[in-house]
Amino acid sequence: MTTIRKVAELAGVSVATVSRTLKSPDVVTPATRAKVLEAVEAAGYEPNMIAVQFRSRRTRNLVVLVPTIANTFFARVISGIQEAAHQRDYRVLLCNTLGREDSEEAYARMVTRRQADGVIQLRAYNPFSGSHLPTGAPLPMVNACEVLDNAPCPTVKLDNRSAARSLIEHLIALGHRRIGMIKGPRRSPLTRDRVAGYRDALDAAGIVIDETLMLPGDFTPKSGFEAAALLVHGPNRPTAIFCESDEMAIGALQRIKQAGLSVPDDISVVGFDDIAFASYSDPPLTTISQPAEAFGREAVAMLIDVLEDRMPETSHLVLPYELVIRESTTTIDVARH
Amino acid sequence: MTTIRKVAELAGVSVATVSRTLKSPDVVTPATRAKVLEAVEAAGYEPNMIAVQFRSRRTRNLVVLVPTIANTFFARVISGIQEAAHQRDYRVLLCNTLGREDSEEAYARMVTRRQADGVIQLRAYNPFSGSHLPTGAPLPMVNACEVLDNAPCPTVKLDNRSAARSLIEHLIALGHRRIGMIKGPRRSPLTRDRVAGYRDALDAAGIVIDETLMLPGDFTPKSGFEAAALLVHGPNRPTAIFCESDEMAIGALQRIKQAGLSVPDDISVVGFDDIAFASYSDPPLTTISQPAEAFGREAVAMLIDVLEDRMPETSHLVLPYELVIRESTTTIDVARH
DNA sequence: TTGAAAGCGCTAACAT
DNA sequence: ATGTTAGCGCTTTCAA
């Protein structure tokens, strides 16, 4: 293995000079620099990054805590994280937590064990709750997408409440008054905020909420499919359904059609996220487009700011959404209902 | 920061004893073990993993080279990798390469720079081509999914040729003879093998191949959509289309229906991969189910075997596929064609 | 501008 | 069974 020592010998300089040439080329004379670089080349020298990290007490590794990668939306967020991290010469340690808090805590320990500098958490949970972290220093974490209410760190999220509200307002404008909702996991802030937006819109329109039209789901197509069955065959069939994710909406679409009903003629359906498949479903989905990659990029930018002792400009970012109207929603057909 | 030295003082033993207690508890007496563990607890000691890695010359980090995470299939493979790595106390460094060879080489350099122990490559390219690696030692790499023809390392793949063949045989059994194909990227071994399987089946049935029915795609729904347009409006419309990925099949489905044609009554469609959305498309897709997570798990197992100087039992694994018949294929309707 | 030298926190001979 | 000690490869004072 070629070490810095061998390069130093080859170039006829000290190891300190080699180190300096590599880190801050401008503090050595052009002549030495040339000599050293030539020796590096000749020796086929590759620095031992672990030694560098050990000595400099920084790894440039970022831990990413994601409930599940096999979800189109998270996959896009991770793409954004990876891209931004790479650009700044940071690495991404990917951790699939399945939403389990003990495993999130275990992964966060990579920071206290100095194997990574910080964590990007995509769930509303603080994995450092019980850990011995140098007090005084800011928490080496950024919370994105699903965000804690009183996050002890910078956050990036969507205004889920008003996004949901605008989706429902769109349905109300089309004449719908009996609007069902397929929700996300019960305890998620995402669900809470989107339900609030749903209520906001209905309240503003003077529509009284029918709690039997609000069913739980878990963001998977399967759960959308199952919840839709209940809605479709229930005593009080809605004329429109708000699904808290496109994946659930795609499941719902299938179930509704299986019941011999048409989307949007019998039932309008709206989703959330605007995943790639949302425009290829039948019919294409009206949904909320989220800047998934941007969540990742912003989270990285803020985390690195924290790690490098810069104050992030804003510590609680709210990214913009967009209502995308496609063919899964239409005006209510009085003849049919 | 609490170091092993402080724990040693607290426990009244040497640092070596602390180290031993943590690594191989059975070589110290129960009494010392108890003392040490108590001191560890009292001091809130967290070992500095970078120091451990530095000293032991092993990181237990695995680099994963993936063309794009935002692809449902790769996302599942990565899930499998992460799960298996975690189980064996290895970490996953995720690298999105966009299929660029220079960036794959840059990431592979993490191994020569001792930041990771090995790489799992999901594309048919050897990123170590030009690097100074200790000769004699086996290449610290496993190639999975899309595999090099003469891979210099263990591999895990599907028998793409016979999988494609069985898909086409299914169509032929339904009476189809004019079968189009929407291919993957031109230079990919995946494409080559699947095209070979397609030819095998047609040749065996005595059907002469119409090259104008074979169109290029890039695995995205959009490319499936566009290629389908050409097939549908071409002079010699096929009665069935084989898409080399479910994502392209979903794009094709939409385009075919837009042309006022029915799937499967006018055109049968088959995909490849069996992604989650394949059973929620309209109609649900007939496809080849691949054990995506298993690719990841097997790749990890073989890589760790190589890294820990064990010979992997088999170095070229071929995982089984399954033909999944859903509603996107049916017997050819003579009245319509 | 360059070199000498200390030492980051830990493991693993080797000695006891 | 435990302790002593020599580094792993690098960065960074400090001195020249």
| Domain boundaries of chain A, sorted by first residue | 1-45, 160-290+323-336
pLDDT of A207: 97
* B 23-82, residues with C-beta < 7 Å of strand D: 27-29, 31-32, 54-55, 57
Q: Does A276 touch chain B (CB under 8 A)?
A: yes
Whether A64 contacts A122, CB under 8 Å: yes
Share of chain A above pLDDT 70, in %: 99
SS3 letters across chain B: CCCHHHHHHHHCCCHHHHHHHHHCHHHCCHHHHHHHHHHHHHHCCCCCHHHHHHHHCCCCEEEEEECCCCCHHHHHHHHHHHHHHHHCCCEEEEEECCCCHHHHHHHHHHHHCCCCCEEEECCCCCCCCCCCCCCCCCCCEEEECCCCCCCCCCEEEECHHHHHHHHHHHHHHCCCCCEEEEECCCCCHHHHHHHHHHHHHHHHCCCCCCHHHEEECCCCHHHHHHHHHHHHHCCCCCCEEEECCHHHHHHHHHHHHHCCCCCCCCCEEECCECCHHHHCCCCCCEEEECCHHHHHHHHHHHHHHHHCCCCCCCCEEEECCEEECCCCCCCCCCCCC
- B275-314: b (≥16 Cβ within 10 Å) or e: bbbbbbbbbbbbbbbbbbbbbbbbbbbbbbbbbeeeebee
3-state secondary structure of A64: strand
CB contact under 8 A, B50 and A50: yes
User: How many degrees, rounded to 5, is the angle at CA B41 between CA B40 and CA B44?
Assistant: 85
The token pair that represents B221 in the structure block: 């729904």
Question: Would you call A87 helix, strand, or coil by DSSP?
Answer: helix
CB-strand contact B15/D, under 7 Å: yes
Band of the pLDDT at A15, cuts 50, 70, 90?
A: very high
Taking Cα atoms as reference points, which of A293, A321, A168, A144 lies closest to residue B96? A293
Whole-angstrom distance, CA of residue A244 vs CA of residue A182: 6
Contacts of B220 in chain A (CB under 8 A): 276
B261/A contact by beta carbon, under 8 A:
no
Check whether A261 has a pLDDT greater than 80.
yes
Structure tokens at B296: 């990841």
Tokens, residue A247: 């994946």
| A19: exposed, middle or buried (Cβ count in 10 Å: 0-12, 13-18, 19+) | middle
Q: Which amino acid is at A275?
A: I
User: For B123 and C9, how far is CA from C1' in angstroms?
Assistant: 39
In chain A, alpha helices (H): 4-11, 15-23, 30-43, 49-56, 72-87, 101-112, 160-173, 189-204, 221-233, 246-258, 292-307
Distance CA B7, CA B38 (A): 9
Q: What does the pLDDT read at residue A134?
A: 73
Task: Pick the closest to residue A90 from A124, A71, A118, A128 (CA basis).
Answer: A118
Residues A26, A27, A33, A37: what is their CA dihedral angle, to the nearest 10 degrees? -80
Chain A residues near residue B250 by CB distance under 8 angstroms: 277, 280
Residue B124 CA and nucleotide C9 C1' are separated, in Å, by 40
Nearest Cα of chain A lies from the Cα of B209 at a distance, in angstroms, of: 30
Neighbours of B38 (CB within 10 A): 13
pTM for the whole structure: 0.94
Q: Closest to A50 (Cβ–Cβ): which among B114, B251, B284?
A: B114
Q: Provide block-wise average pLDDT over 10 residues at a time, chain B (337 residues).
A: 92 94 91 93 94 95 95 95 96 93 94 96 93 81 96 96 98 97 95 98 96 96 98 96 98 98 97 97 98 98 93 87 98 73
pLDDT score of A74 more than 90: yes
Q: Is A69 close to B69, i.e. CB distance below 8 A?
A: yes
Q: Which residues in A lie closer than 8 A to residue B71 (C-beta atoms)?
A: 75
Phi/psi-derived region of residue A269, left when phi > 0, alpha when psi is between -120 and 50, beta in every other case: beta
pLDDT band, very low/low/confident/very high, at A209 (cuts 50, 70, 90)? very high
In the predicted model, what is the mean pLDDT of residues A212-240?
96
- Residue A273, pLDDT > 90, answer yes
Predicted pLDDT of residue B40: 95
List the 296-325 stretch of A: residues with Cβ below 8 A of B.
Answer: none
Q: Give the model's pLDDT for residue B169.
A: 98
List the single residue in A with minimal CA-CA distance to B220.
A276
Q: Is a pLDDT exceeding 70 seen at residue A123? A: yes
Contacts of A251 in chain B (CB under 8 A): 280
Task: Output the CATH code of domain A160-290+323-336.
Answer: 3.40.50.2300
Report the DSSP beta bridge partners of residue A66. A96
Phi-psi region of B309 (alpha: psi -120 to 50; beta: other; left: phi over 0): left
What Å distances lie between residue B205 and B198, B199, B200, B299, CA to CA?
A: 11, 10, 9, 37
Yes or no: say if A14 and A25 are a contact pair by the CB < 8 Å rule.
no
DSSP state of A176: -
As a whole number of angstroms, the distance between CA A151 and CA A165 comes to: 24
Q: Is A210 exposed, middle or buried (0-12, 13-18, 19+ CB in 10 A)?
A: middle
* CATH superfamily for domain A1-45: lambda repressor-like DNA-binding domains (1.10.260.40)
Nucleotides of C strand lying within 7 Å of any protein CB atom: 1-5, 7-13
The CA-based angle A304-A309-A311, given to 5 degrees, is: 80
CB B49 within 8 A of CB A113: yes
